[in-house]
Amino acid sequence: MSTTPDKLVERYLKHLEVELDDLPRDRRSEIVDEIAGHIAEARGVLEHESEADVRNILEGLGDPPDIAEDARDRFDVQPALPVAPYKRGSMEIAALVLLLVGGLIVPIFGWMIGVILLWLSNAWNVRDKVIGTIFVPGGLGLPLIGFVLFATGSGGGICISDLNNPSRAACTGEGTSTGDVITVVALIALLIAPLVTTAYLAYRLRHQPAAATA
């Protein structure tokens, strides 16, 4: 027996569940379960099931968006709020830009404004906002300052990263070669982290428009 009919049914039910998102959870699962049962019954009646049979069953049920529209109507549920509030707007773009390079434009404050915008936005959930805030404070500002300090040979920048390996590197002006390597690796990590975070937040912005109400 081919697996394609199963896949069709699975895809249909998933689509339906997504479309019914506006309904209270218990109603949504009741409807999806009942329709899954309907499909199973209809398939059980067939003697030799073909893909066309399954497609006919699904077509008879109707398109998930149509069923969902009907269901919202039956339960007096307003269609999704997300349309307006979750529109990706200039605030989200500004938040991402400032989180990344705000600290370079106006040290500390530029980044902080990015954080404020991040938390004001409804486009991300709390977890995303926390990630955006801790990885990494200052955005690209911190590692770049670190690089400058490192290049000019000042010990301050090196000490930050050496704190993790106090046994291996001392905060001396000369700096051992091991210490230098660790510092450079740490700085590169600090440089990459905000880029990854920003890419992640941008991804969430595009792919989870209705993710959050928090």
DSSP code of residue 123 = S
Residue 8 as a binder of other proteins (CB under 8 A): the answer is no
Backbone dihedral angles phi then psi of residue 170, each to the nearest 5 degrees:
-95, 160
Collapse the DSSP code of 85 into the 3-class scheme (helix H, G, I; strand E, B; otherwise coil) and give the result: coil
Backbone dihedral angles phi then psi of residue 12, each to the nearest 5 degrees:
-60, -50
Residue 109 as a binder of other proteins (CB under 8 A): the answer is no
Contact with other proteins (CB under 8 A) among 3, 25, 44, 151: 44
Looking at residue 191, its amino acid is L
Residue 51 as a binder of other proteins (CB under 8 A): the answer is no
Q: Which of residues 14-33 bind other proteins (CB under 8 A)?
A: 16, 27, 30-31
User: Site map for other proteins, 158-187, x if CB under 8 A?
Assistant: ------------------------------
Residue 61 as a binder of other proteins (CB under 8 A): the answer is yes
Read off the tokens for 79.
Answer: 């269609």
Contact with other proteins (CB under 8 A) among 8, 67, 170, 171: 67
The long-range contacts involving 30-38, CB below 8 angstroms and separated by at least 24 positions, are 31/67, 31/71, 35/61, 35/67, 36/9
Residue 192 as a binder of other proteins (CB under 8 A): the answer is no
| Phi-psi region at 212: left, alpha or beta (left = phi > 0; alpha = psi -120 to 50) | beta
Which of 34, 51 has the CB closer to other proteins?
A: 34
Read off the tokens for 53.
Answer: 């049979």
> Using CB under 8 A as the criterion, which residues of the chain lie in contact with other proteins when the complex forms?
16, 27, 30-31, 34-35, 37-38, 40-42, 44, 60-64, 66-67, 70-71, 73-75
